[in-house]
């Protein structure tokens, strides 16, 4: 039997990440009974609250229930002690993200709005300081040429993209490995014994588990879809808005990758090019989902979900919105014949040499850079943590199915000890 190391300060530490006074909870189980996602495969938030009260830090960090929760707020509505279990689950996830952060940055910015603003301002200043010397805003748009290669030094675009991609890979990799280490330790200590399972069977379970999680819990988000208020119009449901933002990212990412693989990046193709249509569709979904969510957060202050937005949530939604809007502004400046024609239509004079494309490019690149760096510090981390957690636990279930012997039939015979 493995010993469980307890941390008496665990509950107080989680409170620093935004949790309400969950110590008022006396574990009645009302939250588990009302939760639409709680089943025999995971009972929460009651189990997670109990782990925090006991100080079982490793068990809490390794729990898949922590990432299954979508924060619908029903548990907080029905809690007889008003302990806000839904808010506690959100704070516990922020705590888990901070614990897996080897840079320790999230441990500071999650606890202090001033620290978050300072970090964001520092990133903005550094990014502009790096990009501005390589920009040439006096350049003129040329048909068929990617404006990024006109307004920026091509060498800077090439190497800057490689360096930024490498930094992002290392940045997310460190977070990824931190969580993966916790999850694999959970399997070794408390999971099924896989000693008798062949390597081929393990590999097969890994692959099958991956596809099951990706298609049911990521691309479709089956559990989230079951938690929907049918009285709310379809286009305003949280699941729909969440799916819009997620699929917006997927389509934009696919458009960028396909463009990079199929044509020279310095060439600008017509707006009717399939990958551009794909990117525009992704941008529309992204902006719609982020805008609607921001409006609901601002208006529904008394709502159990929308009324508990943290500063990091607002930063994430704002950057998401600006990512799509800046992309559309850049697209308009590139593909609309000229701003001068639009200005002339409204009798507004703009000098012939003036163009905004250069400024739109640097603004768009700035937002992309901030988004990449801040992704592990806000809800963007969920896009990585949740699938990985579910994948590892799904793998454990597959191993357990192979190693657990079938139940023996019932017998009236009483065993005799000798």
User: What would the pLDDT profile of 285-320 be if each residue is shown by its tens digit?
Assistant: 999 999 999 998 888 777 777 777 888 888 999 999
pLDDT of 84 reads 83
pLDDT of 154 reads 78
What the block records as the tokens of 79 is 């809690």
pLDDT of 191 reads 63
In a domain, 407, yes or no: no
pLDDT of 280 reads 92
Question: Which of 58, 76, 99 is where one domain is finished?
Answer: 99
pLDDT of 409 reads 42
* 71 and 132 belong to one structural domain: no
pLDDT of 25 reads 81
In a domain, 206, yes or no: yes
What mean pLDDT do residues 377-403 have? Answer: 80
* 167 and 236 belong to one structural domain: yes
The pLDDT of residue 8 is above 70: yes
In a domain, 4, yes or no: no
Distance in angstroms (rounded) separating the CA atoms of residues 214 and 212: 6
pLDDT of 323 reads 92
pLDDT (tens digit per residue) in 322-367:
999 998 888 877 776 656 666 776 777 665 555 677 888 889 889 9
Q: What is the mean pLDDT of the chain?
A: 80
* 228 and 278 belong to one structural domain: yes
In a domain, 315, yes or no: yes
pLDDT of 354 reads 53
To the nearest 10 degrees (0 to 180), the angle between helices 85-99 and 382-403 is 90
* 187 and 303 belong to one structural domain: yes
pLDDT (tens digit per residue) in 203-243:
888 899 889 888 887 888 877 776 666 677 778 888 889 89
In a domain, 237, yes or no: yes
Domain encompassing residue 292: 105-401
pLDDT of 232 reads 76
* 220 and 318 belong to one structural domain: yes
In a domain, 3, yes or no: no
pLDDT of 287 reads 95
The model's pTM is 0.83
Start-to-end CA span in the chain (Å): 25
pLDDT of 413 reads 42
What mean pLDDT do residues 197-205 have? Answer: 85
What mean pLDDT do residues 250-279 have? Answer: 86
* 21 and 59 belong to one structural domain: yes
Distance in angstroms (rounded) separating the CA atoms of residues 99 and 211: 28
pLDDT of 290 reads 93
Question: Which of 55, 75, 99 is where one domain is finished?
Answer: 99
**Band of pLDDT at residue 117, cut at 50, 70 and 90:** very high
What mean pLDDT do residues 123-143 have? Answer: 84
Split into its structural domains, the chain has a count of 2
Q: What residues contact residue 186 under an 8 Å CB cut-off, 6+ apart?
A: 58, 59, 62, 392
* 210 and 328 belong to one structural domain: yes
Phi/psi at 30 (nearest 5 deg)? -60, -40
Q: Give the residue with greater pLDDT, 19 vs 26.
A: 26
* 140 and 276 belong to one structural domain: yes
Lowest mean per-residue pLDDT among 200-204, 362-366, 388-392, 401-405: 401-405
Question: Which of 99, 115, 134 is where one domain is finished?
Answer: 99
């Amino acid at each position: 039997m493995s010993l469980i190391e307890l941390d008496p300060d665990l509950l107080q530490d989680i409170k620093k990440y935004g949790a309400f006074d969950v110590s008022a909870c006396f574990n009645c189980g009302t939250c588990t009974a009302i939760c639409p996602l709680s089943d025999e495969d995971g009972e929460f938030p009651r189990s997670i609250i109990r782990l925090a009260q006991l100080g079982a830090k490793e068990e809490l960090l390794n729990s898949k229930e922590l990432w299954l929760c979508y924060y619908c707020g029903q548990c907080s509505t029905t809690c007889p002690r008003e302990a806000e279990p839904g808010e506690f689950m959100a704070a516990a996830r922020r705590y888990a993200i901070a614990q897996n952060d080897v840079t320790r940055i999230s441990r500071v910015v999650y606890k202090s709005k001033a620290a978050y603003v300072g970090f964001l301002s520092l990133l903005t200043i550094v990014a502009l300081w790096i990009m501005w010397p390589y920009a040439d805003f006096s350049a003129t748009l040329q048909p068929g040429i990617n404006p990024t290669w006109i307004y920026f030094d091509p060498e800077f675009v090439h190497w800057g993209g490689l360096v930024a991609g490498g930094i992002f890979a290392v940045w997310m990799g460190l977070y990824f490995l931190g969580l993966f280490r916790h999850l694999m330790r959970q399997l070794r200590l408390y999971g099924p014994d896989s000693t008798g399972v062949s390597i081929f069977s393990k590999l097969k379970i890994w692959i099958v588990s991956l596809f099951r999680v990706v298609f049911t819990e990521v691309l479709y988000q089956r559990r989230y879809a079951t938690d929907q208020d049918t009285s709310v119009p379809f286009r305003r449901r949280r699941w729909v808005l969440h799916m819009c933002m997620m699929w917006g990212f997927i389509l934009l990412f696919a458009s960028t990758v396909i463009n990079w693989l199929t044509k020279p990046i310095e060439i600008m193709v017509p707006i009717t090019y399939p990958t551009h249509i794909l990117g525009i569709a992704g941008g529309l979904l992204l902006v719609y989902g982020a805008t609607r969510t921001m409006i609901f957060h601002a208006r529904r202050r008394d709502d159990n979900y929308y009324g508990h937005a943290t500063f990091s949530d607002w930063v994430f939604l704002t950057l998401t919105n600006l990512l799509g809007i800046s992309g559309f502004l850049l697209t308009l400046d590139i593909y609309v014949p000229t701003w001068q024609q639009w200005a002339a239509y409204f009798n507004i004079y703009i000098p012939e040499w003036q163009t905004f494309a250069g400024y739109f490019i640097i603004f768009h690149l700035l937002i992309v850079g901030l988004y990449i760096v801040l992704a592990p510090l806000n809800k963007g981390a969920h896009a990585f943590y949740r699938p990985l957690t579910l994948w590892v636990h799904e793998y454990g279930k597959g191993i357990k199915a192979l190693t657990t012997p079938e139940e023996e039939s019932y017998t009236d015979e009483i065993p005799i000890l000798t």
